[in-house]
Structure 1
Amino acid sequence: MSTLDPVLLFFLLGLAAGLLRSELRLPAAVYELVSMLLLLAIGLKGGIELARQPFGDLALQALAVMAMGVLLPLVAFPVLRFMGRFPRADAASVAAHYGSVSVGTYAVATTYFASRQIEFESHMPFLLAVLEIPAILVGILLARGFSRDMRIGTVAHEVFLGKGIVLLVGGLLIGWAAGPEGLTSVKPLFFDLFKGILALFLLEMGLIAAAQFGSLRQHGPFLVLFGIGMPLVSSVVGIALGLGLGLSLGGTAMLGILAASASYIAVPAAMRISVPEANPTLSLAASLGVTFPFNVLVGIPLYHAMATQAFALTGGLGS
């Protein structure tokens, strides 16, 4: 009999506690520390393997993933603008969230794959970092156009030097430079305790997701439909790209998961600076109130099954 992964049970605990209006809450400093450890751990793991990859192959994959990061918000924007009847700024902001990526979803997916001995390309954290950026720039352009109000310098600082990118890319570089032997002394904290760190992170994410349910009631069923429908469409794009790039079955499924996830860290910070008139509640209600729980509880195994079926039908194209 299969059981739910303990880290998912932590998420459900946080979700239930939030819906029942419990006083449970991680102290802000603890949540900040847990987030930092999670980002660094993912970066370090990817960095160890990054040095072993041919640069030419990585560059091609990075460009393809960046193109996907441009495409997805362009798909989401007209749906939000014309079907959801969102104001331009709100439609652009939500679209940017869904073109970017969720580190938390990736972390849950890694534990799901590990528990089932599913191998995937070890440089996925590098592609995750690459996917953070294009959608932010596209979202700003959709909201602003090429106007003087863009504040390019401020936006670039927030995008490229924001906490999430600095920790993730920094972890990649440290892992790349130190190698597995050099990281032995920090292995107990960043590698051995990874699932415990993730469990605490998901406990808080469950509480935050529950807090967004009020906004979902206020703005009607459209955000719920979009928060489920858009990841399904995006996952197909990610899986198709994985097949085209010749990734393994696990790598193809993981790229589908990355495409299907929605940002709730980097993009909100950038949108707050660049598109201050956008309502952040709409974006977070969709990404945290709908998409994150859907992906964590249902989406990850679903996208893996979709990738498996795609591999069976195509024979894994480039593999």
Structure 2
Amino acid sequence: MGGFLDPAILFFVFGMAAGLLKSNLDIPHPISRFLSLYLLMALGLKGGFALAKSGFNAEVAITLGAALALAFAIPALAYYLLRRFLNGFDAAAVAATYGSVSAVTFITAVQHLDNLGVAYGGHMAAAMALMESPAIVMAVVLASYVRRQSAAGAMPVPGTLRRVLHESLTDGAQLLLLGAMAIGMATGAAGEAVMKPFSVDLFKGMLAFFLLDMGLQAARNMGGLRGQSAWLLVYAVVAPLAHAGLALLLGWALAMSVGNTALLMVLAASASYIAVPAVVRQTIPEANPSLYFGMSLGLTFPLNILFGIPVYTEVARRVLGA
């Protein structure tokens, strides 16, 4: 029950309640955007400061390699399963959504580990950045293949891939995260002392405010789940657990630390509700947005925030013996 006693999580619950009650409580989009950028910047700085202390070592390389492996394996597995009860376009879109990651889920997990005093590496923020794009690229390739199979006039794969890769690599939020991490590494302990009021003292309050907005959005997007196959609802609940299990297996096999394994499990279990839906809506217009957006934001995101993060952390502690 520790997660429920965290003020940030309680604000998420409050936001969901207000949304379900159809309250007119609303966080203006520019403020929500600012909060998102602040959290990514603060996370990047914290990761950079930690990397300045530890340096780039074998553990960092192994962890990033595991993250990249999951980033390709999860969307491939998802598409294989989803194709059994969805058309090719919807299967590719949902696979991309669940194969990518949620920055807010990751940031909430970082805060949870901080509250518990569980150590983790600053490079996990880089792992999050690495895991965002592969699923999108795979989805575009799969959708182009489906178009060819249906003789509907395939979109040229090379041009599409170039555009997707450019958008992924130059996305403002991701660049800010990596840039802040680089600045944190370059400035080290001196920079950490100067930025502490910004990146540490304000972090909890900003996260609570942002999770309030996310609670409102989650409640208001649950409507997208109405009328969907029961198998999709099962997938939205079971798939994150299976993906977290894959990450746990990797963490155990590679002798990763408890904190790093827990965060890898959170990343594997999360689903994108901002970056991927925005790209998929443009590159796979045949897919149903209410399906992949409703599943990720309306069901998987709340489950991970309320239950998943503490469960993944406790499982990692028990399995890895810490």
1:18, distance to aligned residue in structure 2 (A): 0.6
Q: Say how many residue pairs are matched.
A: 311
Change (3 A) 1:35 1:240: same
Give distance in 2, aligned partners of 1:272 and 1:248. Answer: 38
- Counterpart in the other structure of 1:31: 32
Give distance in 1, aligned partners of 2:126 and 2:68. Answer: 12
Let me know the Cα RMSD of the aligned residues.
Answer: 1.9
Is the 1:12–1:206 contact (alpha carbons within 8 Å) kept by the matching residues of 2? yes
Mark the runs of 5 or more structure 2 residues left unpaired by the alignment: 146-153
State the Cα deviation string for residues 219-240 of structure 1 (Å, max 9, x = none). Answer: 2433321111000000001111
1:135, distance to aligned residue in structure 2 (A): 1.4
Change (3 A) 1:57 1:250: closer
Is the 1:155–1:273 contact (alpha carbons within 8 Å) kept by the matching residues of 2? no
Percent identity over the alignment?
42
- Counterpart in the other structure of 2:151: none
State the Cα deviation string for residues 51-78 of structure 1 (Å, max 9, x = none). Answer: 3323554334323311110000111112
Is the 2:63–2:256 contact (alpha carbons within 8 Å) kept by the matching residues of 1? no
Mark the runs of 5 or more structure 1 residues left unpaired by the alignment: none
Amino acid across the alignment from 1:80 = L
Is the 1:158–1:269 contact (alpha carbons within 8 Å) kept by the matching residues of 2? no
Is the 2:140–2:160 contact (alpha carbons within 8 Å) kept by the matching residues of 1? no
Amino acid across the alignment from 2:208 = A
TM-score by length of 1: 0.92
Give distance in 1, aligned partners of 2:314 and 2:63. Answer: 23
Matches within 5 A, 1:124-203: 124-145=124-145, 148-149=156-157, 151-203=160-212
Three-state SS of the structure 2 residue aligned to 1:218 is coil
Is the 1:69–1:135 contact (alpha carbons within 8 Å) kept by the matching residues of 2? yes
State the Cα deviation string for residues 239-291 of structure 1 (Å, max 9, x = none). Answer: 11112222111221221111111111221222123222222221111111111
Please state if 1:112 is matched with 2:112.
Answer: yes
Three-state SS of the structure 2 residue aligned to 1:226 is helix
Deviates more, 1:138-147 or 1:200-209: 138-147
Amino acid across the alignment from 1:7 = A
State the Cα deviation string for residues 150-189 of structure 1 (Å, max 9, x = none). Answer: 5223211211111221121111111111223124333212
TM-score by length of 2: 0.91
Give distance in 2, aligned partners of 1:272 and 1:215. Answer: 15
Deviates more, 1:289-298 or 1:221-230: 221-230
Please state if 1:250 is matched with 2:252.
Answer: no
